[in-house]
Structure 1
């Protein structure tokens, strides 16, 4: 059964009441149109219904439209309410609040992305936190963020690992020392993930699966033979004068 969030509409206008009802309609296309309508004519009175709907909306496209509608409201009222959602017990509420922060793009919210969020037990929340942290982190905080994200290497399935690797690539070259250190560690899964990420960092056009394969191949060769292979590759790529 479709969950409809109970909303207090005592002080709302008749139009807002209709919009709130449409946001909880059974048909996802109706909910999508309602979110679009709310965003097209921003009304601070609909802040709470939008945030509450984000926490339970099952359709990805509707959720994304809800976040867009929230970005249309003044950030001075939206951001404090979104911050409260970051502490919600509902995983979707936390994940969607993080997603909305990335859409708003206010860098002052960077401090709200805590270590606990980056380490969240729920993969979807953690993946979203990694992405948002990279978007909002100030330049002088990139190294600390890289050091924290390294602790998540080797986590989860392919999609989770790909998300983390993309976060490292988006952070840039500052991440390479931390990744190199992890690649030399004893855990084979962590080391392979770190090596693959370094390959992606150096050549973002490399596919993730290809990078993982190459990382495991180099690991199988051993450090000395891998270094020799890398040296030969660099020589082959150097143009003759």
Structure 2
């Protein structure tokens, strides 16, 4: 078969076939009387072998070695190809994220593009001070892509830089909920914590409330507590059990009590919370520290029902509990 026919049937250009011949990779076994290359069936099979190996990312030099050496084992080479391909995909994914961030910022000129690129370079710096500076030194009138900031928030381990990023995110005016909500379901617990904290600081929206409500079922206590505090401040009743558990456990119990007080602005909900706190008091009769925290939460609630619960406790067997109950009653009477 002549070179033109081979090119048509194989899809390999005549130029590439001549290149293979020059490299000694696929040399036609025959020549016509006029000196034209003539390929045998075995030559064509070798062409397809070369193309198959090229499709895996092998260089022509590697292919020549693989086809020439019958003892050649592909395991090590394939392992290297996998590593190289993963690195290439990582680079291309990073490039894609950069292009999307630039597209989302809708730059009006190349100066706008360069400013976004500068921001991205600052956010990926190995220096925490440099990352923080990249956020805080931007002009107030210059908007930053919310999606880019959300990605940086999820990846940022330094608490000071993370705070600056969340501050910038709340002022970006963009929609970062999709990325943050995905982060709230990430396998990495640190990413989930960062996501929920960022969502908690964003303006209240149905999407944010849904993401925070989902986080109440998270296996990590810190994620659940952060979500409960945010929901409690927003008046979402599903946070009540987690908030009461926080008071019992002594985990951000003052903030949890304040959130319960906010929720108790609704009279029907106030009764539910009061009943739940009273039940916890009865259930922890041998734990003075827990009971004192529960009494503190009761005092924060509006209405006078707390006094009815506190009066019997002024005669509690534990002297400290009795004194604290009496002090709280005096405080409520002064109100």
TM-score by length of 2: 0.51
Identify which range, 170-179 or 51-60, moves more after superposition: 170-179
1:42 to 133, 143, 155: 143
| Cα deviation, residue 55, structure 1 | 1.9
Alignment partner of 1:28 out of 99, 109, 128: 128
From 232, 245, 248, the equivalent of 1:134 is: 232
User: Residues 110 and 39 (structure 1 numbering): CA distance in 2 closer, same or farther, change over 3 Å?
Assistant: farther
Tell me, in whole angstroms, the C-alpha distance in 2 between the residues paired with 1:30 and 1:93. Answer: 21
Structure 1 partner of 2:183: 85
- 2:105 maps to 1:7: no
Structure 2 Cα separation of the partners of residues 100 and 236 of structure 1: 37
Change (3 A) 1:65 1:237: closer
**What is the number of residues matched between the two proteins?**
209
Deviation at 1:178, TM superposition (A): 1.1
Query: 2:239 is matched with which residue: 145, 150, 169?
Result: 145
* Greater relative contact order (CA < 8 Å, ≥ 6 in sequence): 1
Give the equivalent residue in structure 2 for 1:193: 290
Shift of 1:232: 9.2
Q: Is the 8 A contact 2:153 2:165 kept in 1?
A: yes
Aligned to 1:158: none
Residue 23 of structure 1 deviates from its aligned partner by 0.8
2-side partners of 1:72 and 1:202: how far apart? Answer: 36
Matched with 2:255 is: 166
State whether structure 2 residue 195 is matched by structure 1 residue 106.
no
Match of 1:17 in 2: 117
- Is 1:125 the equivalent of 2:231? no
Please identify the structure whose Cα radius of gyration is greater. 2
- Structure 1 unpaired stretches of 5+: 156-160, 205-214
1:212 aligned residue: none
Question: Displacement of 1:64 after TM fit?
Answer: 1.0
> Does the aligned pair in 1 maintain the 2:284–2:290 contact within 8 Å?
no
| Residues 88-115 of structure 1 deviation map (CA, whole Å, 9 limit, x = unaligned) | 222232222222222222142223223x
Q: Is the CA contact (8 Å cut-off) linking 2:314 and 2:322 kept in structure 1?
A: no
Structure 1 length-normalised TM: 0.68
Provide the C-alpha distance between the structure 2 equivalents of 1:35 and 1:25, rounded to a whole number of angstroms: 12
Q: Distance in 1 between matches of 2:169 and 2:327?
A: 53
Following the alignment from structure 1 to structure 2, what is the Cα–Cα distance between the partners of residues 131 and 49?
Answer: 26
